[in-house]
Amino acid sequence: MDLQLNGRRAIVTGGSRGIGLATAQALAGEGVRVALFARDAGALEAAAAGLRAAGAPEALAVAVDTTDDDAVRRGVAAVADRFGGVDVLVNAAARPASAGPPTDLASITDDAVRVELETKVLGYLRCARAVAPLMRAQGWGRIVNVSGLNARKSSSLVGSVRNVAVASMTAALAQELGPHGINVTVVHPGVTETERTPDVVAARAESAGITGAEARAELDATTTIGRITTAAEVADVITFLCSPRSVAITGDAVAAGGGTPGVVHY
């Protein structure tokens, strides 16, 4: 299937690693010119260089802290000036759930919640707000917000709150922007194979007093397919949602975590 993405222009936040980088790689493979946003300029440039070496039409590194609205607006303006516009925004700049604050009520602080909302919810909103006028003007666009399956669980108070908020924001943006040819969706990855996974497995093994192999088996057993998905597999789902082919999907959440055993969502 031709995703009809060749020649499109995309911004991927959190683009220096993990799902963000995997998405940038997948988009570039479809002929998309990609701009990567993240805070670490060195890591960003290394990621962009890797994309260019792999044959990306164009890969631009833009150091942006998405908690800073002025920085977001400057970054989007720089990309629009370089690319001549923006067709796609993938919001993936957020801390992984496993790296988040304690989840029990007694340990959660107001500031811990504020940090998560500032980065994941307001950060995503700032980026969408900055690109929306460009997409409206051309009558087409795609915004994909990467959230997480904690939106469907009660095991992490902070993780659930921030991810549900992203899903709610997605639906509101889809309703407002849909008449202008802009689809907005949210993707819920589960635990995902990234460069952080060995550390996650080691930490679980140490805390539970089990072997690394046992910890890994526990992780894989959380999915219906019997293993956790890779960042590249999640990126494939995101890339489809970035394409003109995805016009029938907007405002909704798409799970990309390998399936949750024993649960029915409808």
pLDDT at residue 100 is higher than 80: no
pLDDT at 105: 80
The CA distance from 40 to 44, in Å, is 6
> pLDDT > 70: what percent of the chain?
97
pLDDT at 97: 64
Q: Mean pLDDT over residues 176-198, rounded? A: 94
pLDDT at 195: 84
223 φ, ψ to 5°? -115, 160
pLDDT bucket at 103, cuts 50 / 70 / 90: low
Helix (H, G, I), strand (E, B) or coil at 61: strand
**CB neighbours of residue 115 within 10 Å:** 17
pLDDT at 76: 98
Decide if 10 contacts 34 (C-beta within 8 A): yes
Helix (H, G, I), strand (E, B) or coil at 88: strand
Nearest one of 257, 34, 16 to 147, comparing CA atoms: 257
pLDDT at residue 247 is higher than 60: yes
User: What does the block give as tokens for 189?
Assistant: 């990855």
What architecture (CATH level 2) is domain 9-190+230-255?
3-Layer(aba) Sandwich (3.40)
pLDDT at 101: 60
The CA distance from 99 to 182, in Å, is 32
Q: Please, where in the chain does CATH 3.40.50.720 lie?
A: 9-190+230-255
pLDDT at 205: 87
pLDDT bucket at 102, cuts 50 / 70 / 90: low
Q: Mean pLDDT over residues 150-155, rounded? A: 79
| Residue 226 vs residue 107, higher pLDDT | 226
The CA distance from 4 to 163, in Å, is 30
Element (H, E) at 134: helix 122-138
User: What does the block give as tokens for 70?
Assistant: 């002025």
Q: Mean pLDDT over residues 182-196, rounded? A: 93
Decide if 24 contacts 12 (C-beta within 8 A): yes
| Residue 214 vs residue 171, higher pLDDT | 171
| Residue 103 vs residue 111, higher pLDDT | 111
Strand partners, 99: none
The CA distance from 62 to 73, in Å, is 12
pLDDT bucket at 99, cuts 50 / 70 / 90: low
